[in-house]
Structure 1
Amino acid sequence: MKKLSILLLVLVIAVVGCSKGNEQKSQEVKGEIEVPQTINANKTVSIEVLVTQGNKKIKNADAVQIQVEKEGYINQEMIDAKHQGNGAYSTDYTFKDDGEYTITAHVTIKGDMKMFTKKVTVCKKE
């Protein structure tokens, strides 16, 4: 009888542990980088990051920083993005040259940092 009780207890703990893991996975932090469709060199644009966790918009991230790197170059500079409301964080940026760029958003929530990237093309100013 004791062995049966212990076995049932272990099974209950295993089932509860597995269900919590699935719940946390669906609540993963996500970041979507938004920029204008057309970006011209030497023109300031707004880079926005929408930060969500499940269906909830994150309004209190520890930090949201933007890193912009031109293809073939390394840029260590991080620009702080300010919270604009409804989980949106943004900053203004001027792309100095035309070419391919990678925008990386570094989002820190409760000490856990996630990175999200988007590639964009900057055109010469017409």
Structure 2
Amino acid sequence: MKRGLSFFFLIILMLVLTSCTVDPNAADQYVQSKQLDVEIILPSSLSKNNEQNLKMKLTQEGKKVEYATNVKFEIWKENHKEHLEVVEAEYENNGIYVATKTFTDDGLYNIKADVKTRDAHVMPTRQVIVGKLSEEEKNALTPDDQKHREHQNHH
């Protein structure tokens, strides 16, 4: 009787395991987010005490994004992220969003485009020079390995 009961459970177990197969098209049933591309567009030169237009162009699958929500720039001077400033961007046209900013100091700045759509969140960052750089800021632009070699040459 025990042997018959064990055989019966073995058969049931085999039926359950063989009925659970993986659907090869299972991945197609999930919504896949589409790549959001952000191009930061800045003036060729930035100077202090002048209003500057900061722009970003948004595209998704080659189409201009016209209805993005939460489109902004985060701006901070190098090594001073605690003074980060957030500037909201407004839709201009053709997938381009614009914000204005007046830089009050010369130096090396980071400008991060922060964009959220229904299915994506993208935050590319660019480093820009406003006016003239200090020696410390110039060194921040030098690759680490070059700094190391220059340091060795002084000894």
Aligned twin of 2:141: none
Identify the structure with the greater helix proportion. Answer: 2
User: What stretches of structure 1 of length at least 5 have no aligned partner?
Assistant: none
Number of the residue aligned with 1:12: 24
Letter in 1 for 2:110: T
What is the alpha-carbon distance in structure 2 between the residues aligned to residue 24 and residue 112 of structure 1? Answer: 10
Correspondence for 2:114 among 106, 114, 118: 106
When the two structures are aligned, how many residues end up with a matched partner?
116
More strand by share: 1
Q: SS where residue 68 of structure 1 aligns?
A: strand
Q: Give CA-to-partner distance per residue, 1:50-95, whole Å, 9 cap, x none.
A: 1111201110001101111111112333111000011110011111
- What percentage of residue pairs aligned between the two structures are identical? 30
Q: 1:95 to 1:20 in 2, by over 3 A?
A: farther
Cα deviations by residue, 1:83-122 (Å, 9 ceiling, x for unpaired)? 0011110011111111111101110101643211111111
The 5 Å alignment of 1:85-124 reads: 85-110=93-118, 112-124=120-132
TM-score (norm 2): 0.64
Secondary structure of the residue aligned to 2:24 is helix
Distance 1:33 1:20, change over 3 A: farther
TM-score by length of 1: 0.77
Q: Name structure 2 gaps, 5 residues minimum.
A: 1-16, 133-155
Residue in 2 that maps onto 1:79: 87
Confirm or deny: 8 A CA contact 1:62 1:111 kept in the other structure: no
CA RMSD of aligned residues (A): 2.5
